[in-house]
Structure 1
Amino acid sequence: MTTLPHDVTGFEVLQPGTYDGGTYLDSSPDNVFWGRLPCQDDTPRAVVESGAVVTVDTLSHEGILEDQGKDPVEFFGRYGVRAGDVLEDAKAVAASALAHDFADDGPHVVTGPIAVRGAKPGDLLAITVLELTPRVGYGMVSARHGFGALPGEMPVPGVTEPVTTFATAVPGAGAGTGEMLVDRDDPSRGRITFPLSPFLGVMGVATAGPERLHSVPPGPFGGNIDVNLLGVGSTLYLPVQVDDALAYFGDPHFAQGDGEVALTAFEASLRATVRLDLIPGGAAGVPAPYAETGDLLVPIGLDEDLDEAMRDCVRCALDLLAGRYGLERHLAMAYLSAAGDFAVSQVVDVVKGVHGKIRKADLREVRR
């Protein structure tokens, strides 16, 4: 079988432990949860003050899952990836005794938690993404039966194994370009190319109580939100659920379209540098997760019913416009209908997501 050689990508492989800056957490088995999210009772892997900048390694689940053989060297070797270019933490997690029940747990490897000293329920934790660096130059898009936007139709009925598409990442303008061969057995048929836009699908805070939640459905705590606007320069605001917040990170993506219709996006490991800021009492104004970029306010709505997720997102948008700009809700609603944009974040995580895009420039002349 002919495959696209990994060595054309040009990305350095960032193995765990190769970072020598400030606070750093690798994604070795001692620092991750697999398929479950940290809860109140979990011991923090690092403790920082508000305003701290931390760097975390995040690890894609592709290549380590049970239905892929749980052997990333063998799995990625099928696509021409050399053994030395497979991440050591991927090998270690796959071979570890970490609790993971493929039938009952989620797929995600989650790094953390990180305690932010002094955080209390009712506060907001602002997570600002400062840098996202590819750890490898390759990744996967996968689909499985019964999941995705077309369960029962795609993948083709009768296929029992996961359907995976290998993709490579090529450095270039912006974040670079993703590439997929149209036919791995006949590379002359060409390739599909698309821009890379890295982000973390999972950023969250721990929930109260002793139960570790399933890693797939997002919620008020954040988690697997899968909003593709949360790249470098964005800030995600999460209502703190427990003392010290206990933040965590995972589900790294090189690219994802709105909807994430196949089940996964272009899944590949990232090193993330973020700043963690507490906003005391901040959750009183907008209790739902929301985000912003340099240009946009990004309300977020979450619910198992997509229609209700849309309504939840509009309510969040109204709260933001009322809280930040003092707009009366009927005027804010009229503005959103005239100029706000709403998109389906994902339809594959049980709890579906909708996010809005409100241009800050539209509101620059508003005075409170």
Structure 2
Amino acid sequence: MCRGDDVNCPNFEAHFKAFREDINPGRRDFLRNGVLGAGGLAAVGAVGGLSLVTPALAQASAKNGPATPSDHYLPATSETVHWGYFSKTIKPQLEIDSGDIVTIETLTHHAGDDLERMVQGDEGAESVYLWTKDKKGVERRGAGSTDPNVYKIGSGDGKGVHIMTGPVYVRGAEPGDVLEVRILDCVPRPSANPDFAGKTFGSNAAAWWGFHYNDMINDDKREVITIYEVDATGQKNWAEAVYNFKWVPQTDPYGVTHTMIDYPGVPVDHSLTSRNFDVLKGIRVPIRPHFGTLGVAPAEADFVDSVPPSYTGGNIDNWRIGKGATMYYPVAVDGALMSVGDPHASQGDSELCGTAIECSLTGTFQLILHKKADLAGTSLEEMDHPMLETQTEWLVHGFSVPNYLATLGKDAQSEIYNKASIDDAMRDAFLKMRKFLMGTKGLTEDEAHSLMSVGVDFGITQVVDGNWGVHAIIKKEIFSGRA
């Protein structure tokens, strides 16, 4: 039965509307009252100056789209996803106006770790994960070569791993503009296997790229995958481990043997593994669903590895980029070309062992375009990096190399993996927060330095994505005493 997720259903629009109302009655009320018209929510949040979007900017930006936003739905299928890269060259899967609302399905690139729980019976996921000796549902996986005479382990060579749904083209978006992305909903994708009704599953891989890998006790290096269960009904707000297993060589349907986790979507044959169901007993991991990879297309290259984050967003891996959060991205190409993937059920700061609980999700977003001509004198005027806003906080994201594609030249996509540095990411986060405090809040340099030391929390976002990340958080209430 269609639950608002089958675009071929003759009653799709009615089912989709019911789905959205069921998952969030509160947002239904917002829609009824017109608060989510283009710029409307921003204006509400701007009371007292506690939003990056002022009422004046919200009013100006509202002119960039229709008075009443349209709803769109983008399913995840082999036709609507691109695997392992951002690109300014691929055809948009959807064109929308500023202010429109789009619900986007996202699939985890680790579903091959347990096809029975995460793919079986799911028509969209099955089309993406299809892989026989004769064909793959999605052939290219990564920003590497697609020439069989060049690639070694598969088309794209796994230089980029995330299943990205999109891109979404925002009409009127041009380089120099800022795209505001409001995350209105973020819900688990239920298992379609009737044996696991009401449940969702995710995979955590303690892998060779993890921060821990070179410090294994007795140097006993191994890759271990833990499968977690999440309650898809929402009645339980925690995840529990189901089992774990040590990665053993897997031969993919094309005949390539993978001794390590080196290519996304390899179907794990569990007749070769030894599954340990006695793992993490009594441990409940609070879930905080979010999107690890969300952003717009960079301008510097045609195909960009999805792993290192950059100035246009991408694989930031901040667990705060979930429901209720707003992201701001500098637009680098016409239409912005937003894509989303790498869905997580939960993650800790640092993503230490290599991944989060990689778990398919469906998100609902509102996209607001702020034109360059309207940004003068606002907090977004010189926005050249991704920034996160919540109801109570502002966050800037620092990286080892802020715009590695421009800084590192023609070999940037390989060189960035040699540049990972917490020191450099910390410095970038400090410089961005100082610029924010001075430019947006009018502090002097000395005032900004003092406030950062006593009122700003710096945290390690991730140490596993090549271009490591540090985030800086400042609470809005710090400025509540200002007129």
TM-score bracket relative to the smaller structure: 0.7 to 0.9
Which has a greater percent of helix?
2
For 2:77 and 2:360, locate their aligned partners in 1 and report how far apart those are by CA, in whole Å: 13
Matches within 5 A, 1:137-216: 137-145=200-208, 147-154=209-216, 162-170=223-231, 176-181=237-242, 185=276, 187=278, 190-208=281-299, 211-216=302-307
Identify which range, 341-350 or 275-284, moves more after superposition: 275-284
Within the candidate set 341, 351, 365, 1:274 is matched to 365
Cα distance, 1:210 vs. partner?
5.4
Q: Which residue of 2 aligns with 1:34?
A: 83
Give deviations 1:86-119, integer Å, cap 9, x for gaps: 5322221122143124744222100111111111
Q: Which has the higher relative contact order, 1 or 2, with Cα contacts under 8 A spaced 6 or more apart?
A: 1
- Alignment of 1:232 with 2:273, yes or no, is no
Q: Which residue of 2 aligns with 1:124?
A: 178
The runs of 5 or more residues in structure 1 that have no matched partner are 1-11, 69-74
Q: Which residue of 2 aligns with 1:315?
A: 431
TM-score by length of 2: 0.65
- Alignment of 1:358 with 2:474, yes or no, is yes
Cα distance, 1:329 vs. partner?
2.5
Q: Which residue of 2 aligns with 1:343?
A: 459
Q: Which residue of 2 aligns with 1:62?
A: 110
Cα distance, 1:159 vs. partner?
5.8
For 1:179 and 1:87, locate their aligned partners in 2 and report how far apart those are by CA, in whole Å: 22
Q: Which residue of 1 aligns with 2:389?
A: 292
- Alignment of 1:98 with 2:189, yes or no, is no
Q: Which residue of 2 aligns with 1:4?
A: none
Cα distance, 1:366 vs. partner?
2.7
Cα distance, 1:135 vs. partner?
0.3
Cα distance, 1:157 vs. partner?
5.4
Q: Which residue of 1 aligns with 2:414?
A: none
Alignment CA distance shift 1:83-1:318 (3 Å): closer
Q: Which residue of 2 aligns with 1:6?
A: none
CA contact (8 A) 2:5 2:16 kept: no
Q: Which has the larger radius of gyration?
A: 2
Alignment CA distance shift 1:138-1:82 (3 Å): closer
Alignment CA distance shift 1:163-1:187 (3 Å): closer
Alignment CA distance shift 1:163-1:38 (3 Å): same
RMSD, matched Cα: 2.7
The runs of 5 or more residues in structure 2 that have no matched partner are 18-70, 131-136, 142-153, 191-199, 245-274, 401-419
Give deviations 1:307-332, integer Å, cap 9, x for gaps: 11111111111222223322223212
For 1:263 and 1:187, locate their aligned partners in 2 and report how far apart those are by CA, in whole Å: 22
For 2:294 and 2:157, locate their aligned partners in 1 and report how far apart those are by CA, in whole Å: 23
CA contact (8 A) 1:58 1:111 kept: yes
SS at match of 1:191: coil
Which has a greater percent of strand?
1
Q: Which residue of 2 aligns with 1:9?
A: none
SS at match of 1:249: strand
Percent identity (aligned):
32
Alignment CA distance shift 1:175-1:272 (3 Å): farther
For 1:188 and 1:253, locate their aligned partners in 2 and report how far apart those are by CA, in whole Å: 20
Alignment CA distance shift 1:37-1:156 (3 Å): farther
Alignment CA distance shift 1:190-1:213 (3 Å): same
SS at match of 2:204: strand
CA contact (8 A) 2:106 2:341 kept: yes
- Alignment of 1:247 with 2:301, yes or no, is no
Cα distance, 1:244 vs. partner?
1.2
SS at match of 1:92: helix
Amino acid at match of 2:163: V
Would you say how many aligned residue pairs link Structure 1 and Structure 2? 340
Q: Which residue of 1 aligns with 2:124?
A: 89
Cα distance, 1:29 vs. partner?
1.1
SS at match of 2:292: strand
Give deviations 1:275-319, integer Å, cap 9, x for gaps: 101122245423221111000000110113211111111111122
- Alignment of 1:305 with 2:366, yes or no, is no
Cα distance, 1:45 vs. partner?
0.9
Cα distance, 1:231 vs. partner?
1.2
